[in-house]
Amino acid sequence: MTVFGMASAVAGFIKVRYLIDKAMIDNIVFRAHYRVTSAILFLSCIIVTANNLIGDPIQCINDRGVPGHVINTYCWITYTFTLPHEQGKIVGTEVAHPGLGNENQEKTYHSYYQWVPFVLFFQGVVFYVPHWLWKNWEEGKIRMISGGLRGALVGEKAEREQRQNRLVQYLIETMHQHNTYAFGYFLCEALNFINVIVNIVLTDKFLGGAFMSYGTDVVRFSNMNQENRTDPMVAVFPRVTKCTFHKFGPSGSIQKHDALCVLALNILNEKIYIFLWFWFIILAILSGLAIVYSAAVILLPSTRETILKRRFRFGAPNAVDTIIRKTQVGDFLLLHLLGQNMNLLVFGEILDEFVRRMNFGSNSNLPSAPSTLEMSPIYPEIEKYGKETET
């Protein structure tokens, strides 16, 4: 299958899953981990395994003492090497290729190219794990209690008001019971931050300690004069390497066969990892800011007040003060997630009714709020999408 065909299949899968009306159970930084980053890593895995882009990933030339297909297979499944002291020399006069020369010196061995697709796939799975944990912890609560109220204003006013009343009643009767729910969310958010930091460190180990400074070296290289610069991408991902093959000769003596190997795959690897370097740095910064934001929500009532006034445009001072004083962190997180799934007008009406009932008690004529599982059959939308899973 071609790269275009495989990428189209992935794109079709994403389109089907994400264009359906879904309840959002996290923030944009959280989604950048399991949607964007996982997609980037899986797509990179597809690219480096698609031979139609570059042909054979390795091609070796030797003195014809070993058949070509044998030396190619041997050098791929073992390792190749370069000579770091030969880096930076003039190609064509001092060396034949960067990093090649007399072997009587220190060698740098390269065998990572065998593992690149497996590592990329594993990283894609790892970036999805915190979302999978949170989705199972959340158990579709937001989807069920906001059914029929998400998105634009639709349906009859009386029907919408009935759904709003039932949602508010549920919020009143379950107040102070959502702290465990909030703990799961903040834990998975912290796992996202830890995950990206660990991936940076492990990628650096995987590439022999070259990843940490890889991006800055490439930027510095691009700003240097053409005559004086040495491409750091060639040092980390050499296009031409050496390989040594030993075999017995006709008399039983050991013969040594040197080969020059062209690693066409590295022209893709170097581009993938320079992109991942910048993306991981950006993602780590955004994840750190998300942790700070969550800490402020937990510790600072003024932050929760600002969110209600500016994010959800709920500006009645007494009502905002009531919500801040009488709700706990778990209650506020539930309100926050509901707010990002609803029209601001609908959410404002729900908050008004929520405040009224906290201040004056529930209307005795209203039905008692069901559990989240019991609320599912009430809304037609839930019956339609009830078996779908959050992504």
**What confidence tens digit (pLDDT) does each residue in 152-186 have?**
555 577 777 888 889 999 999 999 999 999 999 99
pLDDT tops 50 at residue 380? no
pLDDT tops 90 at residue 277? yes
Which of 170-184, 219-233, 340-354 is the least confident region? 219-233
For residue 23, the model assigns a pLDDT of 83
Task: Tally the domains of the chain.
Answer: 1
Question: Angle formed by the axes of helices 179-206 and 266-299, to 10°?
Answer: 150
345 pLDDT band, cuts 50/70/90, is: confident
Within 10 angstroms of residue 225's Cβ, the number of other Cβ atoms is: 6
How many Cα atoms are found within 13 Å in the side-chain-facing hemisphere of 307?
A: 19
Name which residue leads in pLDDT, 161 or 381: 161
For residue 153, the model assigns a pLDDT of 59
In a domain, 104, yes or no: yes
In a domain, 112, yes or no: yes
Burial annotation 1-36 (CB, 10 A radius, 16+ → b, else e) = eeeeebbeeeeeeeeeeeeeebbbbbbebbbbbbbe
In a domain, 282, yes or no: yes
Helices marked H in 103-258: 116-138, 141-145, 157-173, 179-206, 214-222, 232-236
Residue-wise pLDDT for 77-132, tens only, equals 888 888 877 777 777 667 777 777 777 777 877 778 888 999 999 999 999 999 99
CA gap 30, 333 in Å, rounded: 15
In the predicted model, what is the mean pLDDT of residues 205-222? 84
Alpha-carbon distances of 63 from 74, 236, 258, rounded to whole Å? 15, 27, 8
| Best CA proximity match to 154, nearest among 304, 345, 294 | 345
- The fraction of the chain above a pLDDT of 90, given in percent, is 35
In a domain, 335, yes or no: yes
Highest-confidence range of 14-28, 85-99, 211-225, 271-285, by mean pLDDT? 271-285
How many Cα atoms are found within 13 Å in the side-chain-facing hemisphere of 247?
A: 11
CA gap 313, 302 in Å, rounded: 15
Q: Are 354 and 171 in contact (CB under 8 A)?
A: yes
Q: Are 82 and 95 in contact (CB under 8 A)?
A: no
Beta strand segments in the chain, E: 59-61, 80-82, 108-110, 240-248, 254-262
Find the domain containing 281 and state its range.
Answer: 23-385
In a domain, 62, yes or no: yes
Alpha-carbon distances of 93 from 86, 118, 366, rounded to whole Å? 12, 39, 89
In a domain, 301, yes or no: yes
> SS3 for 342?
strand
In the predicted model, what is the mean pLDDT of residues 282-299? 94
In a domain, 6, yes or no: no
Q: How much is the pTM?
A: 0.80
Matching residue, tokens 């069901």: 370
Kindly report the average pLDDT of the chain as a whole number.
80
| Best CA proximity match to 28, nearest among 36, 19, 40 | 36
Please give the backbone phi and psi of residue 74, each rounded to the nearest 5 degrees, phi first: -60, -50
Q: Are 110 and 82 in contact (CB under 8 A)?
A: yes
In a domain, 61, yes or no: yes
Give residues with Cβ within 8 angstroms of 277, minimum separation 6.
Answer: 211, 214, 215
